[in-house]
Chains A and B, each alone.
Chain A
Amino acid sequence: MDGIRVGNRVVGTQSPVTIGWENIPKVEGGPVKQFIFTWFQPTFLFALLAFWYYAPNSIAKASTAIGIGIGFRVLMLGLEWVNPRYASWRLTWKELVVDLFYVGLTYTVLRIVDSYIGSDVVVKAVQDHFHMDRFAWFTGLPLLLQAFLIAFIFDFGQYWMHRGMHNWYPLWLPHSVHHYITQLNINKGAVGNPVELFLIGLGIGGFFDFVPRAFLLAGTFGLAVGTYQHINVRFNSPKWWRFLFTTTEHHSLHHSQDYESTRSNYAGSFVFIDRMFGTCIDGEAELLGMEGGRRMTVREQMTYPFTEGWKAIKERFGRPSVAVPAE
């Protein structure tokens, strides 16, 4: 394959990719469908921001946010059914079970682990040790600015963690499992080795104090922007949206079978971070995965980083096998 030159790099030499917004297919169907799938994303984002901004204190609670999150995911499952981006990404029963297994692990086992060694626990220990208080001046800022800062600080940290995973082998090993997925669906973001799921959840937000309502507003960016990374729905996202936010297109390219394409679009919500550091490529891909689209079993997903890590250690530090010359 010849590939396509994007700046200093050539992408699409190993598997087909589509580069440039003008080449990406649009939503097909009548005017109502076109209207819905063009305006759904911004409408939902602004509606949710307005809801959390004005909701009375009795409603503005984490439990409401959990309810909205579940409802949104069910709605997305419906949209995947009605308007799939690719038929080859159609959710199957088996994929749903495996995806939900990882979602279940995140909500249960990983939460227990986080309560012992998560970043919030570590931050609190550091604060206690150095008798530090949280940086409280943020609480005087306007709510929406606080919300943006919370989301941005987390996404900025995630960007570098994610980029580190693609550039440093010990971090790549746990992350590589996530790159073996061969299709994008609503819960695919949760699929990966638990070590990676733990690492990607680390953040430094615990050092800062924010008004509680600002956390709920910040969660909106995760839900109404970040969720679209892994989803099988075709949207006509507005130009300003795809300039600022990570879209399915961006993230599908990141999951492409083409190696050079995977080294782009690291941000979870704010793709302008990629633009800032020169790692953004506007485009999409249908053929996803590693090793030509080999799908890992759950057992391999659990063990792969350790078995491959052990192999790498043995290669590096093990005794070299001495060839005995034939006499």
Chain B
Amino acid sequence: MTSPVRAAQPWPSQPWGPADGGASTDTDTMFGGKLPGMRLINWIWHVRGSLALAPGQSSDDAFERLAPLFSETGTSHERTNDTLTFSKKDQPAQDKMSVFDSGALRIERGAAESVLHYHLISRALLFCFLLVPLFLGIAQLTIAMGKFQKPATEAAASSGKATDASKKDAAQAEADKAAPVPLNPIDKFLGAPEPEKPKKGEEKPGRRNKKPSSTPAYVFAAIFATLYVIGRILEAWLVKRLFKRRLADA
């Protein structure tokens, strides 16, 4: 049976090179995926990077220093020689790698220096990316619903069978309602402004206009687009800094 960690790893079972054990230098094949161009698409939620180890630092030493990162609640990991794969489930916000859900780290030993390559997958990045079209869709839905409601309201108004007299009564009642209530004497004494009769079409103070508008949805789409760009850069930088600090820890 495939272990949950193995099932979650982001590449086929021979990710680091040919089955005969020969060294591979084609990192695109290693990290890319089966479809050409997939790497370009999954760049949205896949973070790849590499980090040079200190001269003479062994794989064992490097993974030992990184081990606390993979001992967090909800994290399971598996290590084979120069490779560590991990997956996270329901990871708490306090986990320093909580933004990532699975991934793999591999140490490639070179003649001069060893390099840590990592490939991490973040559903949070994908979620944030997809929130942009979601909120744009909500904006369109709000507009469509507004259009749908408008003809219904107009139809109801035109088919109204109210008599002229009752219409006049209703208009009078409406006008009475619109008339501002005089201020309480205490408020008058304290100098609060007298309420004005609201002009037609002007925004009413106090109670918010409850009619849904598409503006908030557009604003949130813009917020998530900005947050995605920030997150894609920030999280890649933060995880690199995290690995760097852990590897350098005495």
Contacts and interface: CB of A to CB of B under 8 A. Distances in A.
Interface of A: 53-57, 60-63, 88, 92-98, 100-101, 103-104, 107-109, 111-112, 114-115, 118, 120, 139-143, 182-183, 210-216, 289, 292-298
22 contacts: A53-B192, A61-B203, A62-B207, A92-B93, A94-B99, A95-B93, A97-B127, A98-B124, A100-B223, A100-B224, A101-B131, A104-B135, A108-B142, A108-B217, A111-B216, A210-B206, A212-B205, A213-B195, A213-B206, A294-B90, A297-B90, A298-B127
A143 B142 CA distance: 35
B128 interface: yes
B135 A294 contact: no
B81 interface: no
Given A94-B98, A108-B216, A294 B74 contact: yes
| Closest 5 A/B residue pairs (Cβ) | A212-B206, A215-B206, A104-B220, A107-B216, A212-B205
Interface of B: 73-74, 90-94, 98-99, 123-124, 127-128, 131, 135, 138-139, 141-142, 145, 181, 183-184, 186-187, 190-193, 195-196, 203-212, 216-217, 220, 223-224, 227, 230-231, 234-235
Contact of A182 (B92, B183, B190, B206): B92
Contacts of B138: 108-109
A93 B184 contact: no
A215 B195 CA distance: 13
Given A100-B224, A109-B138, A94 B195 contact: no
Contacts of A295: 74, 90-93, 98
| Chain A binding surface SS class | helix
Contacts of B98: 92, 94, 295
Contacts of A53: 190, 192
B96 to A, nearest CB: 9
A140 B184 contact: yes
Contact of A142 (B142, B184, B207, B212): B184
B231 A97 contact: yes
Nearest to A300: B90
Contact of B210 (A101, A111, A143): A111
B76 to A, nearest CB: 15
A289 B90 CA distance: 12
Contacts of B203: 61-63
Given A54-B192, A63-B203, A111-B210, A94 B93 contact: yes
A98 B217 CA distance: 16
A98 to B, nearest CB: 8
B142 A61 contact: no
B210 A62 contact: no
B210 A114 contact: yes
Given A120-B210, A213-B206, A182 B93 contact: yes
A92 B127 CA distance: 15
Nearest to B208: A62
Contact of B94 (A98, A143, A183, A211): A183
B25 to A, nearest CB: 33
A143 B185 CA distance: 10
A62 B210 CA distance: 11
A314 B227 CA distance: 42
Nearest to B73: A293
A201 B181 CA distance: 28
B240 to A, nearest CB: 15
A213 B192 CA distance: 10
B195 A57 contact: yes
B206 A111 contact: no
Given A93-B99, A143-B187, A296 B207 contact: no
